Amino acid sequence: MATIVDDHVMVCDDCLMLIANDDATGLDHFLDEASAAARERELHDAIAAAQRDGNYLVVGDSDQNEEFSTSSCDCCQTHLAGSRHHCVLMG
Ligand SMILES: [Zn+2]
């Protein structure tokens, strides 16, 4: 039975895209091909690290999203200000 490991993981747009859809193609809209590929690797690594020990991230409660935040992403640690999306780490 799944249990909640961390019920307040706030992630950036990029991480959410991968957590929700396993899709990083949106990165191409902002970055050139090489930068997008590097960023995608970074995101995959960050998410893999967050999901170590068999835990996994799921999209949480959108009511808890922050439209604009300057806190770092809990997943990839980016400091870029922007929206943060609520996720839950299950184990
Ligand atoms: Zn992130």
Q: How far apart are CA 32 and CA 48, in angstroms?
A: 24
pLDDT tens digits for range 22-73: 999 889 888 999 999 999 999 999 999 999 999 999 999 999 999 999 999 9
| Cα 15 to ligand 1 centroid, rounded to whole Å | 4
pLDDT tens digits for range 11-32: 999 999 999 999 998 898 889 9
| Cα 3 to ligand 1 centroid, rounded to whole Å | 23
Radius of gyration for the chain, computed over Cα atoms and rounded to the nearest angstrom: 13
| Cα 72 to ligand 1 centroid, rounded to whole Å | 8
| Cα 1 to ligand 1 centroid, rounded to whole Å | 27
Q: How far apart are CA 20 and CA 75, in angstroms?
A: 13
CB neighbour burial string for 57-89, b if at least 16 within 10 angstroms, e if fewer: beebeeeebeeeeeeebbbbebeeeeebbbbbb
